[in-house]
Chain A
Amino acid sequence: MIKNTDQPAAVKNTAVSIAGWPIQQVFRLLEYPFSKIQRGVGIQGMPWIFLLPNLIFFGIFVIIPLFINFAFSFTGGTELFLSNRVYTGTEQYRFLLDCKTFGDPITCREDRFWKGLYNTFIFVFFQVSFLVLFSLITALILNREIRGRGFFRAVFFFPVLLSPVVVALIWKWILLRDGILNAFLVSIGMDKILFFVSPEWAMFWAVFVSIWAHMGFYTLILLAGLQAIQPDLYEAAEMDGTSKERVFWRITLPLLWPNLLVVVVLALIKGVQVFDEVFVLTGGGPGTATQFIVQYIYNTGFTEQVQNFGLASAASIVLGVILFVLTMLQLAVTRARDNG
Chain B
Amino acid sequence: MLNFKRLLATTSVLATLGATSALAETELRMMWYNDGSESEVMQSIIDRFEAKNPDISVVIDVVPYKSIMESLPIQLAAGAGPDLARVTDLGGLSKYYMDLTPHISDSAYWEASFGPFLDWLAPDSDRISGFMTQLTVTGPYVNKTFFEQAGVAMPGDGATWDEWAAAANDVADKLDIPIPMAWDRSGHRVSGPAIAMGAKMFNADGEPALVDDGLKEMAQRLYDWHQDGTMTKELWGSVSGSSYLGANEDFANGQVVMYMSGSWQIGQFSGTIGDAFDWWAVPAPCGAAACTGMPGGAALVAMKDTKHPEEVGKLMDFLAQEENLAEFYGKNLFIPGHLKLATGGVDFATDDARAKHALSTFAGAVPKISPTAFDLQGYPNNRIMFNALISRLNEAIVGELTLEQAYVRMEEDVAKQLAAKAVD
Given known A286-B398, A287-B400, contact A306–B417 (CB-CB < 8 A): yes
The answer to whether B77 touches A79 (Cβ under 8 A) is yes
**Pick from B234, B240, B384, B399: contact of A194, CB under 8 Å:** B234
A158 to chain B, nearest CB (A): 28
The answer to whether B77 touches A80 (Cβ under 8 A) is yes
The answer to whether B384 touches A304 (Cβ under 8 A) is yes
The answer to whether B240 touches A288 (Cβ under 8 A) is yes
The answer to whether B400 touches A77 (Cβ under 8 A) is no
The answer to whether B74 touches A79 (Cβ under 8 A) is no
**B-side interface size class:** 35 or more
A241 to chain B, nearest CB (A): 57
Q: Report the bound CA distance from A77 to B424 in whole Å.
A: 5
Q: Report the bound CA distance from A284 to B383 in whole Å.
A: 20
Q: Report the bound CA distance from A295 to B395 in whole Å.
A: 16
The answer to whether B74 touches A302 (Cβ under 8 A) is yes
The answer to whether B405 touches A305 (Cβ under 8 A) is no
**A-side interface size class:** 35 or more
Say whether B421 faces chain A, with CB atoms less than 8 Å apart.
yes
Given known A106-B405, A286-B233, A288-B395, contact A305–B238 (CB-CB < 8 A): no
Say whether A276 faces chain B, with CB atoms less than 8 Å apart.
no
Hey, which chain B residues are within 8 Å of A310, CB to CB? 420
The answer to whether A308 touches B420 (Cβ under 8 A) is yes
The answer to whether A76 touches B423 (Cβ under 8 A) is yes
Q: Report the bound CA distance from A339 to B69 in whole Å.
A: 55
A91 to chain B, nearest CB (A): 9
Given known A80-B77, A305-B383, contact A287–B240 (CB-CB < 8 A): yes
Closest to B384 in A: A305
Say whether A252 faces chain B, with CB atoms less than 8 Å apart.
no
Query: Which residues in window 102-145 of A have CB below 8 A to B?
Result: 106, 109, 111
A142 to chain B, nearest CB (A): 37
The answer to whether A303 touches B417 (Cβ under 8 A) is no
Hey, which chain A residues are within 8 Å of B361, CB to CB? none
**Pick from B239, B242, B401, B420: contact of A106, CB under 8 Å:** B401
Q: Report the bound CA distance from A111 to B409 in whole Å.
A: 9
The answer to whether A197 touches B237 (Cβ under 8 A) is yes
A174 to chain B, nearest CB (A): 15
Q: Chain B, 375-393, contact with A by CB distance < 8 Å: what is the 0/1 string?
A: 0000001011001000000
Say whether A299 faces chain B, with CB atoms less than 8 Å apart.
yes
Hey, which chain A residues are within 8 Å of B238, CB to CB? 194, 196-197, 202, 282-283, 285-286
User: What residues of chain B have their CB less than 8 Å away from a CB belonging to chain A?
Assistant: 69-70, 73-74, 77-78, 89, 92, 178, 232-234, 237-243, 245, 381, 383-384, 387, 394-395, 397-401, 405, 409, 412, 417-418, 420-421, 423-424
